[in-house]
């Protein structure tokens, strides 16, 4: 538990100036906390490395400043403070921001099936949280087509990971069904 609290503190510091894209512009730290809730409370996952990695899953990807220097520093900090296993999970779910957005999205689908199980758990929780957030508070300027495209893409990523955890997959499926239904009625 102390390591998980340290991870929350570290993530809160790294995301302190960030907001979610939704209309509510919630503090970004709410997103890693949502992953933690999905994994631990809703799916009953108790693997400390998975839970810690879920809290830290975006800290490398969301570097500001000199990119390579920042990434190297965050990797070193995660390894020293939270261990090599947590770092490996975080790296497995981190997008390569050097790629254009479309290529990053394609890479997520292509690599999803190849992820280690621990990384799949984090990725499943991430997609579930994102779909819930978009359904409940779509980003400013996102029209129905863009929301539908995001939902379709998220489903493609999750479909490539099927078999990793039935409970997490069911949570994603329920979030997606709710999201599609909510968007259809607006």
pLDDT attached to residue 182: 83
Overall number of domains in the chain:
1
Give 139-143 contacts, CB < 8 A, sequence gap 24+: 139/21, 139/22, 139/23, 140/21, 140/23
pLDDT attached to residue 164: 98
Catalytic pick from 9, 24, 42, 61? 61
Tokens of 46: 């108790």
Q: What is the CATH number of the domain that holds 8?
A: 1.10.3210.10
pLDDT attached to residue 17: 84
In tens, the pLDDT along 101-150 reads 999 999 999 999 999 999 999 999 999 999 999 999 999 999 999 999 99
Active site residue 169: no
Active site residue 173: no
pLDDT attached to residue 186: 60
Catalytic pick from 62, 77, 91, 95? 62
Residues of the chain falling short of pLDDT 70 = 64-66, 185-186
* The model's pTM: 0.94
What DSSP element (H or E) covers 95? none
Tokens of 151: 């939902």
Shortest CA distance to 168 belongs to which of 85, 49, 44? Answer: 44
Domain containing 19 equals 2-184
């Amino acid at each position: 538990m102390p390591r998980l609290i340290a991870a929350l503190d570290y993530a809160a510091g790294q995301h302190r100036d960030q907001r979610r894209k939704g209309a509510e512009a919630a503090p970004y730290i709410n997103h890693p906390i949502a992953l933690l809730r999905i994994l631990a409370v809703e799916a009953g996952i108790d693997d400390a490395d998975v839970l810690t990695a879920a809290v830290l899953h975006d800290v490398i990807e969301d570097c500001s400043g000199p990119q390579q220097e920042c990434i190297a520093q965050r990797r070193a900090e995660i390894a020293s403070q939270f261990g090599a296993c947590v770092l490996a999970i975080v790296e497995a779910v981190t997008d390569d921001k050097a790629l254009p957005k479309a290529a990053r999205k394609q890479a997520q689908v292509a690599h999803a099936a190849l992820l280690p199980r621990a990384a799949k758990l984090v990725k499943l929780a991430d997609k579930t949280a994102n779909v819930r957030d978009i359904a409940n508070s779509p980003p400013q300027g996102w029209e129905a087509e863009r929301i539908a495209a995001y939902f379709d893409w998220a489903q493609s990523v999750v479909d490539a990971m099927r078999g990793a955890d039935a409970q997490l997959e069911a949570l994603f499926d329920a979030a997606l069904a709710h999201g599609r239904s909510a968007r259809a009625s607006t």
